C-alpha cells in the first residue's frame, strides 16, 4: 500500500482484516512523506514501512522505478493507493497494471485530480462519491471497479462533504479488496473490468456496505 497522508483508509482495511472480513496480509506500506499518519498506523499494526523522499531522486521516473523495485521485492500480489498524492510515471507502473488500484474521492470520470469535493459543490451537483479504479498510465483514468454515492446536502461545505464521504470510502475499499482476495476481479484491457469472468457494464455500486452489480 502507498499513502501520503493520515491513512484512515489503511486503518479501515486493517480493521476489516482484524474483524475477519478481509483475508489479506499487509506486507508493506510506503510513503513519500516521512510524517504520514499512515506510516504510524502501519507500524502500530506490525506492518513493515518505508519512506522515499522525492527530493532524493533526479527525476520522477527515477523515483518511481525505485518505488516499484521495493514493491516488487516485498512479494506483494496487489498494490493499493490510498491518498498517495503523486502522479506515477507510466513506464514505471506498467508491470503493475491490473494489480494496482486507487481510491479517488469523486464519481469518476468526473473530477480527476485535486479538490474534488470543492469542484462537486461548485458545479451544483446533487450527488458526490468515491471510486476505486485500476491504475493505468492515465491519471485517475483507469477502469472504474466500484463506486459509493452520497447526496450533497444543503449547507454542505468542502470539509463536511469530505468527512461524510470518507465513511463510505472506508466501506468501499475493503469491499473491493474482498473481491480481489477472492480472485473475482480482473482488468479487461484496454478499459474494462471483469467480475467472475464477465465484463461489467457499469461500476459496481456500494449499497448498505455491499457491492451490487
Ligand atoms: C481519501 O479521501 C482518498 O480518497 C483521497 O485521499 C484521502 C486519503 O485519506 N485520495 C485522493 O485524493 C487521490 N487522488 P486517508 O489518508 O485518510 O486514507
pLDDT, tens only, 143-163? 999 999 999 999 999 999 999
The DSSP-derived string for 10-72 is HHHHHHHHHTTS-------EEES-TT-HHHHHHHHTT--EEE--GGGSSSHHHHHHHHHHHHH
pLDDT at 107: 98
Percentage of the chain lying above the pLDDT 70 cut: 100
Averaged over 89-116, what is the pLDDT?
97
What spacing in Å lies between the alpha carbon of 47 and ligand 1's midpoint? 20
Cβ-contact 132, 103 below 8 angstroms: yes
Query: Is pLDDT of 169 > 90?
Result: yes
Q: Around Cβ 155, how many Cβ atoms within 10 Å?
A: 6
Average pLDDT over residues 100-123: 98
pTM equals 0.98
Instruction: Evaluate whether 80 touches 16 at the Cβ level (below 8 Å).
Output: no
Pocket test for ligand 1, best of 12, 14, 100, 105 (most atoms within 8 A of CB): 105
Residue 169 alpha carbon, nearest atom of ligand 1: 4
Query: 104, 128, 168, 170: which one is catalytic?
Result: 104
pLDDT at 194 over 90: yes
- Higher pLDDT pick, 20 / 139: 20
Look up the CATH architecture of domain 8-212.
3-Layer(aba) Sandwich (3.40)
Torsion of CA 154, 169, 175, 41, to 10 degrees: -150
Q: Cβ of 199: how many Cβ atoms within 10 Å?
A: 10
What pLDDT band is residue 190 in, cutting at 50, 70 and 90? confident
Residue 84 confidence (pLDDT): 97
In 71-82, which positions are buried (b, 16+ CB within 10 angstroms) versus exposed (e)?
beeeebebbbbb
Amino acid at each position: 500500500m502507498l499513502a501520503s497522508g493520515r491513512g484512515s483508509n489503511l486503518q479501515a482495511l486493517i480493521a476489516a482484516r482484524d474483524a475477519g472480513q478481509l483475508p489479506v496480509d499487509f506486507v508493506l506500506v510506503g510513503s513519500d512523506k516521512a510524517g504520514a499518519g499512515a506510516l504510524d498506523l502501519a507500524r502500530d499494526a506490525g506492518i513493515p514501512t518505508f519512506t522515499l523522499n522525492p527530493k532524493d531522486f533526479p527525476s520522477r521516473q527515477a523515483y518511481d522505478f525505485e518505488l516499484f523495485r521495493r514493491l516488487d521485492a516485498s512479494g506483494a500480489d496487489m498494490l493499493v493507493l490510498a491518498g498517495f498524492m503523486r502522479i506515477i510515471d507510466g513506464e514505471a507502473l506498467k508491470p503493475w497494471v491490473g494489480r494496482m488500484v486507487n481510491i479517488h474521492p469523486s464519481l469518476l470520470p468526473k473530477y480527476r485530480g485535486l479538490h474534488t469535493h470543492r469542484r462537486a459543490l461548485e458545479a451544483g451537483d446533487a450527488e458526490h462519491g468515491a471510486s476505486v479504479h485500476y491504475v493505468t498510465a492515465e491519471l485517475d483514468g483507469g477502469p472504474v471497479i466500484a463506486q459509493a454515492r452520497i447526496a450533497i446536502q444543503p449547507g454542505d461545505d468542502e470539509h463536511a462533504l469530505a468527512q461524510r464521504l470518507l465513511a463510505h470510502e472506508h466501506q468501499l475499499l475493503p469491499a473491493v479488496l474482498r473481491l480481489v482476495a477472492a480472485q473475482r476481479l480482473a482488468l479487461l484491457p484496454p478499459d474494462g473490468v471483469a467480475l467472475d469472468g464477465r465484463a461489467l457494464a457499469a461500476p459496481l455500486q456500494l449499497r448498505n456496505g455491499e457491492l451490487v452489480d
